[in-house]
């Protein structure tokens, strides 16, 4: 009986580790999609990785923007063309799966631009909505 319980417990741990790795891979794929969409100059596609909700929060140097639509408008106003957008790079420092439905990402961002390079750090709270990982909170500096 003891061996059976150890076996079941081991399988549960292995399954949990596999699920976490699968979630991390999915989150990294979302981040890669962001880079591709941004570098193609497509802010609308870039925003598809965010939670389409009034509860979305974006925190930047000018304060908090609430809601998906307002965040989209903020991006379009701040980055009106591909010259200002530049080419995006992410350096993901860590991905932490917090639960079945939430994950935390820490990293650096960098824009290579002809008008001057810029960069900083970001923290993201991902939420799983209808089986898909989306950004629910973005704090970028």
CB 43 within 8 Å of CB 71: no
pLDDT band at 95 (very low <50, low <70, confident <90, very high): very high
Fold designation for 2-140 = Nuclear Transport Factor 2; Chain: A, (3.10.450)
- Asked if residue 4 has pLDDT above 80, the reply is no
Token digits for 48?
A: 């598809």
Q: What is the mean predicted confidence (pLDDT) over 99-106?
A: 98
CA distance 109 to 132: 23
> Reduced to 3 states, what is the DSSP secondary structure of residue 1?
coil
Q: How many CA atoms lie within 13 A of 60 on its CB side?
A: 9
83, two tokens: 């010259």
pLDDT at 56: 98
Q: What pLDDT score was predicted for residue 16?
A: 44
46: pLDDT strictly greater than 80: yes
Check residue 3 and give its pLDDT: 60
| 6-41 per-position pLDDT tens digit | 444 444 443 444 445 699 999 999 999 999 999 999
Please check whether residue 111 is in contact with residue 134, taking contact to mean a CB–CB distance below 8 angstroms.
no
* Side-chain half-sphere CA neighbours of 76 within 13 A: 11
CA distance linking residue 32 with residue 23, whole number of Å = 14
């Amino acid at each position: 009986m003891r061996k059976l319980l150890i076996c079941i417990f081991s399988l549960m741990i292995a399954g949990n580790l596999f699920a976490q790795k699968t979630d991390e891979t999915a989150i990294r794929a979302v981040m890669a999609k962001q880079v591709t969409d941004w570098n193609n100059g497509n802010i609308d596609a870039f925003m598809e990785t965010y939670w389409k909700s009034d509860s979305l929060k974006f925190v930047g140097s000018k304060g908090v923007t609430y809601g998906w639509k307002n965040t989209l408008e903020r991006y379009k106003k701040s980055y009106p063309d591909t010259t200002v957008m530049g080419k995006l790079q992410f350096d993901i420092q860590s991905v932490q799966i917090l639960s079945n439905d939430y994950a935390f990402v820490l990293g650096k961002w960098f824009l290579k631009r002809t008008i001057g390079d810029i960069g900083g750090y970001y923290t993201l709270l991902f939420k799983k909505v209808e089986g898909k990982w989306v950004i629910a909170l973005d704090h970028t500096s």
